Structure 1
Amino acid sequence: MSMRTIYITRYDLERLNKLIDETEDSFSQDRHYLEKLEDELSHAEVVPPEEIPNDVVTMNSRVCLVDQENQEEKILTLVFPKDADISRGKISVLAPIGTAMLGYRTGSVFQWDVPAGKKHFKVAKILYQPEAAGDYHL
């Protein structure tokens, strides 16, 4: 992931920082992803939920992604680890793709490392963003 400015709501920042603090205290295989998430949050532009642009991937956003290698679409909802359920398309913010897509905007291409190299997805469309729907505390 390259250095970029992401938008995040105050509420999401508080919950993500709490998640980082709680998870850091345990022996976790997610430690590497926690560090990436911490890095992303360290340069985030924090805004009130009412002011987040409606084309930004926030927590609990449902997003249509396009794999840049094969043009296949994937619909995912970015959630906290306790709500993750890949069979229902709910991906944890601590999963590689979850950490990578947080804060990206419609039309952006993001990448993350996989064992075979790098994966690239384009944010084709945000199907649901809590803040745009007036759901400020999901």
Structure 2
Amino acid sequence: MTATKTKGRRPAITIARSEHARLSNLADMLAERDPHAAEQLAAELDRAKVVDDARMAPGVMRIGSTAEFQIDEEAPQTAELVFPKDADISRQRISVLTPVGAALLGLSAGQSIEWAARDGRVRRLQVIAVHAGAPDTARAS
């Protein structure tokens, strides 16, 4: 996820060490099949502050967490962040490999991020709340 620099720096994000390792492997495995998604995820992982799992603060968006968020001026929505094989939009489960999923990764309530969509439009995602879920770092695809 490459955020635009139109309104300043990208927000600080935090990722648990075990989750960072799993997501890095996922990005590497995906590089040839879907380079755009792999690049978005890798960019977020590269800029993340990586902390030991036990030191991960509550309220940080991670795999298995559910976020309430708003994109641009659309109605707020809720979704759980999951690995690609667990994604199911009808159950509000969004893959970390989607632009929205990669944008949510590591953010906390009150943070926002901007990025250029594939159509060139600048999109803005604002996190309203994060609800902890059981982290699911055992599955990486």
In structure 1, the gaps of 5 or more residues are none
In structure 2, the gaps of 5 or more residues are 5-9
Provide the alpha-carbon RMSD of the alignment: 2.2
1:106: which partner in 2?
A: 109
| Contact 2:61/2:67 (<8 A) preserved | yes
1:59: which partner in 2?
A: 63
**d(CA) in 2 for partners of 1:106, 1:5:** 12
Which one-letter code corresponds to 2:95 in the other structure? S
- Greater relative contact order (Cα 8 A, min sep 6): structure 1 or 2? 2
1:17: which partner in 2?
A: 24
Q: TM-score, normalised by structure 2?
A: 0.80
| Contact 1:11/1:137 (<8 A) preserved | no
Moved over 3 A (4+): 2-5, 135-138
**d(CA) in 2 for partners of 1:91, 1:125:** 16
Deviation of 1:16 (Å)? 0.5
How big is each residue's C-alpha offset from its partner over 1:66-122, in whole Å with a ceiling of 9 and x where there is no partner? 23414x110011111111111111111110111111111110112233326122221
Distance 1:94 1:107, change over 3 A: same
Query: Any idea what SS the aligned residue of 1:53 has?
Result: coil
Question: Counterparts in 2 of 1:123-138, with a 5 A limit?
Answer: 123-130=127-134
Number of positions where the alignment pairs a residue of Structure 1 with one of Structure 2? 131
